[in-house]
Structure 1
Amino acid sequence: MTATRTAEGWSLLGELPERVVSGCLYDSAGWLGMWETTGIERRVRHGYVHAEGQVLPLYALTSSPFWHGYLAQSAQTRLGSRHVFAGSTYSMYTKRGTFPQALARGAHATAMEWIDAGDADLLIAPNLTDDAAATWEDAVGPPAGRVLLDRTYSCELSGDFDDHLRRLPKKLRQDVRRRLRRADERGLRIDMVEGPEAHGLVPSALPLVVGTTDEHGWPALYDEDTLHALLRAPGALLAVARVADRIAGVFFGFRHDAEVTFLCGGVDYSGLTELSTYVALMYRCLEWGYANGFRRIEWGRDNYRFKERHGLVGTDLWALVYSPDRPPAQDGAPATALADMHRVLAAYIEGRG
């Protein structure tokens, strides 16, 4: 483990520590080590800010498909992708809740040095909860812009699966049970697979996963190499919906402590109505979660109204964007571009556009 700089309660490490204090999957050493092996984001350089046993990765990128997707959706051409990211945009939480302010201070100071060196233009701290965004602002001051980037959904698991269904509104409960019966009758089965079997299904899974990113002109967010890397993360598994030998849907999931996180997935839309594939995948994964003693499931982003209708709890994910300007110009680029981006994405997330 190489420390390249130490200051004000934080260190910049050239390598990921073996032991990391984590609050969720995306803070864990297993996840961060796996993500270091992926190439879907084009990294110029990276490092790990370390404080009080926790780490915050910094990635200087020339391209990130996920960031480009948000730019494309908001028709934003003035921001680009050549930035320092404090945590990958692919990770749904950079930090959950509060965390040491020294991490934000170290990330900000290091990013400004990388920007001064010509490696990037802006610092972007993506996927921050309300509390985490407040910690950033307390630590390093107001950003040039604040964007409601996305919303992710979760549910707590209490009691058993039948209890969960009973907590649904009666009409919805009856519909879910009907769809599950119909899926069973038509031969749809849901399996949890991992290891070599899961890796062997990646070529079939990829078209389903990237097929969900066509809306709003998003680029393909994953490739086969990245999906294989995800399956090498500790606790990784693949929830697979099959009819005979045909793959009808997949969810990529990760077990971490008493929680399961589903990051990405997709279904074959040609059979969606006949098989109720998405509902079957979701509720059979819930049933599996209860049966295996998990206490929480993170369901991921998008499909907002469906997830709300099924009783999932939304968490807003913010991006704070810092400019090397002191203080940030609030009446010019990038502030105007970020304000426009926020307006478009917030309208979409909240169902107003």
Structure 2
Amino acid sequence: MGYVQWSYDTLNQFCTDVFKAFGFEEEESREIKDVLLTADLYGIESHGMQRMVRYHKGIEKGTIHPQSKPEIVFETPVSAVIDGHNGMGQLISIFAMNKAIDKAKKTGIGMVSVRESNHFGIAGYYAKMACSQGLIGMACTNSEAIMVPTFGKKAMLGSNPIAVAMPADPYPFFFDCSTTVVTRGKLEMYNKMDKPLPEGWALDKNGHASTDAPDVLANIVAKKGGGIMPLGGNEEVSGSHKGYGYGMLCEIFSSILSMGVTSDHCCTFPDKTGICHGFIAIDPSVFGDPEAIRKHFSDYLEALRESPKAEGKDRIYTHGEKEIFAEKERREQGIPVNDNTMVELADLCGYLKIDFHKYFKDYKLPENSRFFTGNY
């Protein structure tokens, strides 16, 4: 299986039409697809188009409720708790971050914790919402348990990503990463490519290192044990306890403060996932002149980029640079989509009675793929 390039405009129209077919309004569909395609433009394939099948399954199973609207259930001038009522994670999260931004503009800081939501895509999307308005943005989430805590053999935390974005020149600081070595989506991509996992990523149901993507994924789904290692692997000597601790920080700001479902219970219900999120927006002006702070930070980022390079290396990147370059290239040359993801999209079109070839003209489906269900 390989990849095929599609223009941003093609994927943009396709995604919007798919979510409209699921019953979302035009603006809601636009917001959902924007989160997904931003991931693909940035080169974060695990959270882009290939996530469509997850949302399809969630809506079909009834764990995602397309008609639900988020509700503020607790609020102060600087904080809020939102119940998402099991709606689409992207829509709930945009609503929540906008609330945090509004509070930050009025008081200097806004903090929002969300319960009863769903998978929300890349955390960085929401951090950049604040950054684009001159604020410091932070976002995190819990998820279905896939992280095995240090010295454990059962997944108890999610991938629990943290994202931070802050204005700077010539481009903003943008940091977004899971607190596991990799995300579940990365395992899904290796599974689609039929490749063994790199050493140091995953554990089998007995807590032993594993490179078998299908087995690790099956154990996660069936709650049989094993999963993905925290950042730092599975031993303290390599810093495992740090990744485990970072994952706990996400849990605090998402499920604990919102009184929501913790990762070990996420996705164990018949009619919801229970996933929770956390969002923070901070106005730099509460610390002084925001323009002076921006210049100070920009100068430091430039110093990092210009600092001495390791042997054989000619460049040091600051966080967010690669995403800027990837977006420019993919808008010009197209976004690569895995052939197995294309099969999933065809199945999705069959389910929704959408003409697959209206968007993907002349593309021949590889019907021998193990991902093909024959729904199209």
TM-score (norm 2): 0.22
Q: Of Structure 1 and Structure 2, which has the larger fraction of its residues in helix? A: 2
Q: Of Structure 1 and Structure 2, which has the larger fraction of its residues in strand? A: 1
TM-score (norm 1): 0.23
